[in-house]
Structure 1
Amino acid sequence: MSTLRKWDVVGHLKTEEDMALYLEACFEEGDPALVAAALGDIARARGMSQLARDTGLTREGLYKALSAEGNPSFATIMTVMKALGISLHAEAS
């Protein structure tokens, strides 16, 4: 009998490029909840405790806001992205 483990993207986010490509793919989907959850995945890959220190937000608050069920403010998204060293760019489509 085989056992299945839940797949977690965090184990595959090893480089800055991995993280950027993952987030870019989520942006392309156009789903704000997916983007917030992807930022949460990147934060977990980098270390949620360090992100909490860097942003001044609580670890628990970050986990909640950056989950698939979270609904973070745009200010929170921008604060997290800045702390993660990720920038947001506008491009004409």
Structure 2
Amino acid sequence: MAIVLKQWDIQDHLKTEEDMALYLDACFDEAGDDPVFIAKVLGDIAKARSMTQLAQDTGLGRENLYKALSGEGNPSFGTILKVIHALGLKLQVKTIGKESV
């Protein structure tokens, strides 16, 4: 009997805004200092939502968004903030509790 496997795609699991927020939050924890990783994660969320709608909401070109959020691009911080806002998400800052030396 052959086993049939389906390629796993995060977009299939990002159904609600809470799913998207939790995914982004977890990825910020994992990303370290890797901005490309975060851009790719935002691309995953944008594709799960609708890249066309995101382009309209941000005023940025759809093709430019695909490139910027592909993990291959280098989006500006302004673009990242526009995307996060348009997705209905919010960045929050918290301390990381570094021990004093």
TM-score past 0.5 threshold = yes
Matches within 5 A, 1:6-85: 6-29=7-30, 30=32, 31-85=34-88
- Unpaired runs of at least 5, structure 1: none
Deviation by residue 1:36-91 (Cα, 9 ceiling, x = unmatched): 11111111111000000001111100000001112111000001011111111111
Larger radius of gyration: 2
Q: What's the CA shift for 1:7?
A: 2.0
Shift of 1:32: 1.2
Between the two proteins, the alignment pairs up a number of residues equal to 93
Superposition RMSD in Å: 1.2
TM-score after normalising by structure 2 = 0.85
Q: Give aligned-pair identity as a percent.
A: 63
Q: Which amino acid aligns with 2:58?
A: T
Deviation at 1:2, TM superposition (A): 4.3
Counterpart-to-counterpart distance in 1, 2:4 and 2:66: 28
Tell me how far apart the structure 2 counterparts of residues 17 and 81 of structure 1 sit (CA, whole Å): 14
Residue equivalent to 2:99: none
Question: Structure 1 length as normaliser, TM-score?
Answer: 0.92
